Structure 1
Amino acid sequence: MNIIKYKAIFIGILSALFFAVTFIINKLMANEGGSWIWSSSLRFYWMLPFFLVIVIMRKNLFPVLLSIHQRPIQWILWSTIGFGVFYAPLTYSASFSPSWLVASSWQFTIIAGILVSPFIYKGIHISISSFLFSGLIFLGILTMQIGQINHIQFKDLLTGSFWIVIAAFAYPLGNRKMILMLQGSLDVYQRILGMIICSLPFWLILNVYGITIEHSIPNHTQIYQTFIVALFSGVIATTLFFYAAELVHHDLKTLASVEATQSGEVLFTLLGEIILFHIALPDTLSMIGIGLVIIGMILHSTHSK
């Protein structure tokens, strides 16, 4: 079992590396003047054929289409929230903050997940430890924000943080409501495919806004960059993470350790930004904040189950 445990943890760390690509390339596209509208929507257009092929190869397409046909309103609502209202604001925030700060602040989704749980699951009990570890994460995020006051205009810092918070609540709300609605009738690949399909109206409306109001269209570089994000983060990272979780799903302690590997996103994103953008290391206060977030995530995953 030890070999499987270490294998799962290694794969989890590898998935965090690929997930970090999202934050780095989103910042790269923002720096190059690419509109957040296309940075977000093109990722899901690219993901569609990947997951369509995966589901078809597994001979599981018909149940997805049938489920959407039976409950189209619920599918469109929760897919729009879980994918659209999650990823569009997260991408937009890249225009205001460095990618490592976005990746670190994004961990607020753990706190948001706890806060929305009572509204989704009846009679749920949230442990005191969950609140304590979530408080540590929040303190870390707040410390990082304070550390950046002298490096980023306060208005930009506030705007970026606002949209990250919106994304942090939308992600667990949309995905958990979808999981609750499906009751295990579809596997994870089927659910992702269905949510991509049902979020398309949101992305198309956003594209119309981009063309008519912002007068923006993606260039070849942005199209290529969003393909990389879709492949590395949307497909490879997601598949690796779910595979790692599946390896140890009967061992809750090891599963918690696999989940904790996602704190590596913060470090990988920071390292990537230093290499690609030649930024200086964050100041001492921000580094303390990063450390608090990572410690909080690890404690949250390993002790609050």
Structure 2
Amino acid sequence: MRPIIIGIFAAFFFAFTFILNRSMELAGGSWIWSASLRYYFMVPLLFIIVIARKNLKLLFVEMKQRPVVWLLWSSIGFGLFYAPICFSAAYAPGWLIAATWQITIISGSLLAPFFYETAVTDNGLMRIKGKIPFKGLGMSLIILLGIILMQVEQANHLSVIALTLGVLPVVVASFAYPLGNRKMMEVCGGRLDVFQRVLGMTLASMPFWIILSIFGLVDVGPPSLGQTLQSALVAISSGVIATILFFYATDLVRGDMQKLAAVEATQSMEVLFAVIGELLLLNSLMPSALSWSGMALVMVGMVLHSYVSNKIVKPKIQKVSA
């Protein structure tokens, strides 16, 4: 249960992303700066942590060996994850984005066949191709049903444009985040700790953010002071604290796609935290009884998902020589 608990804490800090991004959008800030400023602020914060742990040199050695791979998967895992999330905030409220983001529960499970996991055999350990965890996926569908119930009333009042531009980019992000994270875990192979990996991915994604910032300067001009300060808060809460907690939780179950899917499912708690945050900070309307029922389903689905994923017993696989 330790990775599950850590994942829930990560969800709490991740929820600030949806709340503050919506706050910045309501204040007239551009999604471009909401996205790029977060990662600019993350760099010095992570540098301090990694230098204090005396692990910076090893990180640079790893990045120098495979720079193109770092650039590719970091741009996908961070760039194609967070830019669409911020873009959606311009067209849909934070609760809808937070709810739609939970499709990553399904996305993470569907990506399993593209990765390898470690299996115990009579001849030792071997890597086998991952399979879609259908039992855990069933529990994920319960979570998704709860999310749908939470938002069904509000979604009926949104325009087609708001639904399209507010939802589809988040779906793209829901695949990009676990894909980039898992690929970088494979690349690092346990040689780097979570702090080094987050810093490395942040540095490797800088070309993406620099290009986006240049476009932002030309299109909308520089960010305001208020947006800059709120972006710094997002960088600390979501970019550093939440990301490190989540990556640490996924590292604990690296090589087991069943339990990895369970950890990724903890991010459904972001919806609950986002609702509470919007009620307290943005004076949002109190959710209906139907929405509260959906929240209960999310929590039940979380418990069942964790239980099923940890009760699955894998059969022994005989290692066949070529």
TM-score normalized with structure 1 length:
0.85
Q: Is the 8 A contact 1:256 1:302 kept in 2?
A: no
Displacement of 1:180 in angstroms is 0.7
The structure-2 alpha-carbon separation of the partners of 1:206 and 1:152, relative to structure 1 and needing over 3 Å to count, comes to: same
Matched, 1:274 2:269: no
Q: Is the 8 A contact 1:144 1:285 kept in 2?
A: yes
Unaligned regions of 5+ residues in structure 1, if any?
none
Aligned Cα root-mean-square deviation (Å)? 3.0
Displacement of 1:244 in angstroms is 7.7
* 283-292 or 181-190, which deviates more: 283-292
* 192-201 or 91-100, which deviates more: 91-100
Q: Is the 8 A contact 1:260 1:298 kept in 2?
A: no
Could you tell me which residue of structure 2 aligns to residue 120 of structure 1? 115
Choose from 39, 42, 67 the match for 2:62.
67
Displacement of 1:296 in angstroms is 2.7
Q: Is the 8 A contact 1:263 1:298 kept in 2?
A: no
Could you tell me which residue of structure 1 aligns to residue 230 of structure 2? 225
Q: Is the 8 A contact 2:279 2:286 kept in 1?
A: yes
Q: Is the 8 A contact 2:102 2:267 kept in 1?
A: no
**Superposed CA offset, 1:164-218 (max 9, x none):** 1000000011110111111111111111010000000000111111122x23321
Q: Secondary structure at the match of 2:29?
A: coil
Choose from 177, 184, 187 the match for 2:190.
184
Q: Is the 8 A contact 1:148 1:286 kept in 2?
A: no
**Superposed CA offset, 1:261-305 (max 9, x none):** 644322221011112222212344444444434433332233224
Matched residue type, 1:65? F
Displacement of 1:136 in angstroms is 2.2
Could you tell me which residue of structure 2 aligns to residue 304 of structure 1? 309
* 43-52 or 233-242, which deviates more: 233-242
Instruction: Map 1:1-305; keep pairs closer than 5 Å.
Output: 13-121=8-116, 123-144=129-150, 146-212=152-218, 214-239=219-244, 262-305=267-310
Q: Distance in 2 between matches of 1:168 and 1:255?
A: 15
Q: Secondary structure at the match of 1:304?
A: helix
Displacement of 1:98 in angstroms is 2.1
The structure-2 alpha-carbon separation of the partners of 1:223 and 1:283, relative to structure 1 and needing over 3 Å to count, comes to: same
* 118-127 or 239-248, which deviates more: 239-248
Q: Distance in 2 between matches of 1:83 and 1:9?
A: 22
Q: Secondary structure at the match of 1:148?
A: helix
* 194-203 or 93-102, which deviates more: 93-102
Q: Distance in 2 between matches of 1:84 and 1:93?
A: 14
Q: Distance in 1 between matches of 2:250 and 2:180?
A: 21
Q: Secondary structure at the match of 1:95?
A: coil
Unaligned regions of 5+ residues in structure 2, if any?
117-127, 311-322
The structure-2 alpha-carbon separation of the partners of 1:106 and 1:194, relative to structure 1 and needing over 3 Å to count, comes to: same
Q: Distance in 2 between matches of 1:175 and 1:245?
A: 9
Q: Distance in 2 between matches of 1:216 and 1:286?
A: 39
Q: Is the 8 A contact 2:80 2:172 kept in 1?
A: yes
Q: Secondary structure at the match of 2:16?
A: helix
Q: Distance in 2 between matches of 1:25 and 1:137?
A: 24
Could you tell me which residue of structure 1 aligns to residue 120 of structure 2? none
- Report how many residues are paired: 296
Displacement of 1:258 in angstroms is 7.8
**Superposed CA offset, 1:12-52 (max 9, x none):** 65543322211110110111111111101100110101111
TM-score normalized with structure 2 length:
0.81
Q: Distance in 2 between matches of 1:138 and 1:10?
A: 20
